């Protein structure tokens, strides 16, 4: 320890023996430095080739295998998606066909119901028309009788007003005239 204190004191006063500079540049230590450099390089080379590079290679191979497996799985899933889409489209076509068949059956049923309702309405209308025509014929017959009666009374009153004697010929003339 005393020797170090002396070296520090000499260095502080500037009287220290002059060192040769950086030890790496001292030619007397180069063989030793080259030996240790070669030992370190061989050790690094062995470490890389025996430990690091095989691990890196294994990781790369594993990644390559995983990527290949993922690509195969993706292709398989893609094919399954195509198959599912085809099945969906087929089901959609079948469903549309079934829907059209149901619509056709419903339309037939509605048309049958409509035809039955129209027939019923036609029958009811025909019945009402027949009743109405019977009433119209009754009214027409009653009207003709009323016209004959009024015409007969008017003709009798006219003949009497003109000074004549109403007889059966007046009634027959009115009946001929009213007929047409």
Q: In this structure, what are the phi and psi dihedrals at residue 165, rounded to the nearest 5 degrees?
A: -100, 115
Give the contacts of 10 (CB within 8 A, at least 6 positions apart): 16, 17
Owner of token pair 């009323």: 146
**DSSP designation for 16:** S
pLDDT per residue as tens, the chain (180 positions): 565 656 655 655 655 555 567 877 888 888 998 999 999 999 999 999 999 999 999 999 999 999 999 999 999 999 999 999 999 999 999 999 999 999 999 999 999 999 999 999 999 999 999 999 989 988 888 887 787 788 878 888 877 787 777 777 777 777 777 775
pTM for the whole structure: 0.40
Q: In sequence order, what are the residues at sequence separation of 6 or more whose Cβ sits closer than 8 angstroms to the Cβ of residue 156?
A: 166, 170, 171
Taking a C-beta distance cutoff of 8 angstroms, is the pair 148, 178 a contact? yes
For the chain, domain boundaries: 28-179
Q: Cβ distance 148 to 174 under 8 Å? A: yes
- Using CA atoms, how far residue 33 sits from 23, 27, 127, in Å, is 10, 10, 133
pLDDT of amino acid 43: 96
Q: What are the DSSP calls for 66-86, one per residue? A: HHHHHHHHHHHHHHHHHHHHH
pLDDT value for 148: 78
Rounded to 5 degrees, φ, ψ at 85 are -65, -40
Residue-level length of the chain: 180
CA distance 142 to 149: 10
């Amino acid at each position: 320890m005393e020797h170090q204190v002396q070296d520090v004191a000499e260095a502080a006063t500037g009287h220290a023996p002059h060192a040769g500079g950086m030890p790496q540049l001292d030619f007397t230590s180069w063989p030793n430095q080259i030996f240790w450099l070669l030992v370190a390089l061989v050790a690094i080379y062995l470490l890389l080739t025996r430990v690091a590079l095989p691990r890196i290679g294994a990781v790369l191979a594993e990644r390559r295998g995983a990527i290949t497996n993922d690509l195969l799985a993706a292709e398989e899933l893609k094919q399954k998606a195509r198959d599912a889409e085809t099945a969906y489209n087929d089901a959609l076509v079948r469903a549309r066909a079934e829907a059209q068949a149901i619509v056709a059956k419903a339309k037939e049923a509605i048309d049958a119901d409509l035809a039955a309702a129209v027939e019923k309405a036609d029958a009811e209308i025909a019945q009402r028309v027949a009743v109405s025509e019977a009433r119209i014929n009754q009214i027409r017959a009653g009207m003709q009788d009323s016209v004959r009666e009024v015409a007969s009374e008017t003709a009798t009153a006219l003949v009497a007003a003109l000074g004549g004697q109403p007889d059966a010929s007046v009634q027959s003339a009115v009946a001929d005239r009213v007929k047409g």
